[in-house]
Structure 1
Amino acid sequence: MTGPPELSPRDARDRYLDHRRTEASQKSIESWHYRLKRFVEWAEEEDITSMAELDGWTLDEFENYRRGSGVSPSTLNGEMQTLKNWLEYLARIEVVEDSLPEKVHVPEIPDGEESNDEMLDQADAYALISSFRKDPERYGTSKHALLELLWFTGARIGGIRSLDLRDYHSEEQYIEFRHRNGTPLKNDSDGERAVGLPESVCEVVNTYIENYRNDAHDGGRKPLLTTTQGRPSENTLRVWCYLATQPCLHEPCPHGKEREACEYLHVHHASKCPSSLSPHRVRTGSITWQRDCGLPAQIVSERVNATLEVIEKYYDKATARQRLEERRRPYIENLQLDFDIDP
């Protein structure tokens, strides 16, 4: 029996991803594909045709290339860790030398740079939501409904996109996140959950369904949020979010522009507004706000489908003073002694 064939970087990547499909979510596969794509394209530009050509010097050259491209420390850390995991698989099936994975340098992330602290804070969220609720022309529109759902559930954009009309329960005031073909959840079936909604949010969603939702279908399903073509893509929802979080909706433009003539109102330029925020930043703000509202960490974890460790490290951005004033100070009275101590 002959040994394993020499695999090109592209073929080796595809084999690895196929191997992982049975044990990982589609979102994870897409993330790994994106990270390894950088290495594959770089290797092809360097005329590396076989994985057998890789050595410690080659790996260091790639890391220097990515570092020089200006990526953040967290991005570089993730790319190099994925590269190492990939090479460990290839070493196991003897496509590369056993020692090669250990030659991958996974740079540590400097303290304070594990995640981006930018988020939609409570004051801005209240102002934006209030501006939509008070404007009859914008109340219940697609952008308004999306912003309310993102803020009051803390869900990922993929989860919001997955919602069907049947997943929204107006009378009972909750929505269900279900893992289905074509609209997978981040953690597959483990991401399925029911999330309660305040009555005011249900009123917004009801108005959207009655007045703004297109009667569109998606493979026999009826999406909750729709465009004229059917279920919106994640990119379309991101654009809606960028447009819904522009501060000029409730205050003068902080960048000195006139709203009526601002190019950032166009769908192709909405993400360029320096003050608009992505769905991920709304999620971050929502999780911090839910904790500040007194919801126990475990309840928030279940609502947003994230572990306690992940919430603490990446999403909950309350300051030390906020944690004291809004979360711990109410319990100070529990520390009182029920008798006096003589001086």
Structure 2
Amino acid sequence: MEKKELPAGLDKAVTGFERYLTGERARSEHTVRAYLSDLSSLLAYAAGEGITDPAGLELGTLRRWLGSQSEAGASRSTLARRAATARTFTSWALREELIETDPSLRLQAPKRDGSLPGVLQQQQLARLLADLNEAAKDGDPMALRNRAMVELLYATGVRVGELAGLDVDDLDPDRRTLRVLGKGNKERTVPYGLPAALAVDDWLRRGRGKLAAADSGPALFLGARGRRVDQRQVRSVVKGLFEALGDTSATGPHSLRHTAATHLLDGGADLRAVQEILGHSSLATTQIYTHVSVDRLRRSYQQAHPRA
């Protein structure tokens, strides 16, 4: 990643922090890029105040930096993320003895927006899958692939990066389970249902071989040129499907993850089981979906109860 030109002391700290994220923390390339973008913004602001190394960072600098971001129109969720980046960096810098005290301990940022994630209703999901089934009838390999990807995204709640990284031998068709390599290189096993199993099997039997090329390797899902499908392609497919529905707040593959979690809880699944399926390290992260379910329950009550 190209960094803004910084004083040598700050630039050296960025390099060390990047090694920490990719090595010790095993963060994904996308996550590292986001951290470094936020950090470069902070340190460029600090350099503008005459700070040349991390030891010069003070709480006031961090607050003024966030204030400048707010004045520039950054959302509450963006400000919260950037404050979290600052805390992660200064905590690391303290451990590395680049600073004597952590200036971010009293740093406060706006809470993230409380909006609930967009999810598909059962009827919307049924329409989407019906369209995918219709498109796959003639055996077009891309249509077979798209149906299998969407069925698997919904069946397992995997992240789009996890889906793109799947290999054929990550599937256990007999047990209908999937081996997933998640954040921090943590491996988990996720079950999937019969519709997803049939869609994936159809893709492997009738579709994948038509797209496979010499450099396909073991990738489960392939692009038009035979290489492993990338996240951008998956997002484009799902975005187009949601736009075709026309009546949903869902926007991309992550909405299928939200939908899977919400429907599991609506169906009575245990919260900790959903945590394990989604690969959340903290139960608190999973609990947002209980709010989604309660919101759906409240709407149903208001629509159906005579005295609502």
What's the CA shift for 1:117?
2.6
Residue type at the aligned position of 1:117? P
Runs of 4+ with >6 A deviation: 323-326
Give me the whole-angstrom Cα distance separating, in 1, the residues matched to 2:167 and 2:259: 25
Structure with bigger gyration radius: 1
Deviation per CA, 1:143-174: give whole Å up to 9, x if none: 22211111111111111112111122334433
Partner of 2:111: 109
Q: Residue by residue, what CA displacement relative to the aligned partner does 1:24-68 show, whole Å, maximum 9, x if unpaired?
A: 232254543343233245456777543344334432221112212
In structure 1, the partner of 2:164 is 161
Q: Which residue of 2 aligns with 1:337?
A: none
The answer to whether the 8 A contact 1:87-1:101 is kept is: yes
Deviation (angstroms), 1:201: 1.8
Number of equivalences: 286
Match in the other structure for 1:125:
125
Aligned counterparts of 1:289 and 1:314: Cα–Cα separation in 2: 9
5+ unaligned residues in a row in structure 2: which ranges? 1-6, 302-308
Matches within 5 A, 1:88-103: 88-98=91-101, 100-102=103-105
C-alpha displacement of 1:92: 4.2
CA contact (8 A) 2:160 2:231 kept: yes
Identity of aligned residues (%): 20
**Aligned mates of 1:48, 1:229 — CA distance in 2:** 50
Query: Which AA in structure 2 matches 1:50?
Result: D
Please list, as runs of the form range in 1=range in 2, the aligned pairs for 1:120-199 lying within 5 A after superposition.
120-135=120-135, 136-137=137-138, 140-177=143-180, 179=181, 185-189=182-186, 191-193=187-189, 195-199=190-194
For residues 252-299 of structure 1, give each alpha carbon's deviation from its aligned partner in whole angstroms, at most 9, with x where no partner exists. Answer: x56xxxxxxxxxxxxxxxxxxx96621111111110011112222232
CA contact (8 A) 1:9 1:43 kept: no
The answer to which structure has the higher helix fraction is 2
- Specify the SS of the correspondent of 1:101: coil
Cα 1:114–1:275 shift into 2, 3 Å: closer
TM-score w.r.t. length of structure 2: 0.78
**Partners of 2:49 and 2:144 in 1: CA distance:** 50
Among 230, 233, 238, which residue is 1:233 paired with? Answer: 230
Q: Distance in 2 between matches of 1:291 and 1:46?
A: 50
Counterpart of 1:224 in structure 2 is 220
Q: Is residue 151–residue 196 contact of structure 2 (8 Å, CA) maintained in 1?
A: yes
The answer to whether residue 273 in structure 2 is matched with residue 299 in structure 1 is: yes
Instruction: Please give the secondary structure, in 1, of the residue aligned with 2:73.
Output: coil
What is the match of residue 73 of structure 1? 76
What is the letter of the counterpart of residue 68 of structure 1? Answer: E
**What are the superposed Cα offsets for residues 196-230 of structure 1, whole Å, 9 maximum, x if unpaired?**
22222222112222333221466x84100011141
Give the 5 Å matches for 1:187-336: 187-189=184-186, 191-193=187-189, 195-213=190-208, 214-216=211-213, 221-227=217-223, 228-248=225-245, 253=246, 277-306=251-280, 307-313=282-288, 317-320=292-295, 322=297
Q: Check whether the contact 2:265–2:290 (CA below 8 A) recurs between aligned residues.
A: no
1:10 aligns with 2:11: yes
